[in-house]
Amino acid sequence: MKTLLLAEGLWSIVDKGFSEPADGVELSDEQKRVLETNRINDAKALSKIQNAVSHAIFPRIMGATKAKEAWEILQQEFQGSIKEIAIKLQNLRREFENLKMKDSESMKDYFSRVIDVVNHIKTYGENITDQRIVEKILISLPEKYEYIVAAIEESKYLSSLSMHN
């Protein structure tokens, strides 16, 4: 959703919002133009947010009159408070650090498990570099992959490896 709003040039109105002038305040022509542009962009952003959510979630945001308000409702509901986010991130970091490939697990399945945890971490706003992910995978492979890990480490290109190589 954020990517769509960014692509449409609407993210800033959702992220920062805008203020309506107090009643009786005289605005210059430029201020009126900016206010009208903000109102239009806010309505576009609110419409995109409303259209993006399922019918089950829509009632939670239907009372929102501005895009920022709707976004904050969704953020609070699905991410939680700052304290809750910190706790979730801590648990996800622990899960990431404790990941180990099982002997019976395929490389594809293990890779999917790692990516799933990484994506959850990124959902909460924390970034993990590809280098860190590659290092984690190499460290946590079973002994049967030792020769592959050694070959990769000897190539001295560990820092240039990414999840897509």
**Domain boundaries in the chain?**
2-78, 82-160
Provide the pLDDT for residue 163. 62
Provide the pLDDT for residue 43. 97
With a threshold of 0.85, does the pTM exceed it?
no
pLDDT in tens, the chain (165 residues): 889 999 999 999 999 999 999 988 999 999 999 999 999 999 999 999 999 998 988 999 999 999 999 999 998 877 776 788 889 899 999 999 999 999 899 989 999 999 999 999 998 889 999 889 988 998 999 988 888 878 877 776 666 666 665
Q: What is the DSSP string of the chain?
A: -HHHHHHTT-HHHHHH---PPPTT----HHHHHHHHHHHHHHHHHHHHHHHHS-TTTHHHHTT--SHHHHHHHHHHHHT--HHHHHHHHHHHHHHHHH----TTS-HHHHHHHHHHHHHHHHHTT----HHHHHHHHHHTS-GGGHHHHHHHHHTT-GGG--TT-
Provide the pLDDT for residue 123. 85
Residue 66 phi, psi (nearest 5) = -130, 155
Provide the pLDDT for residue 76. 81
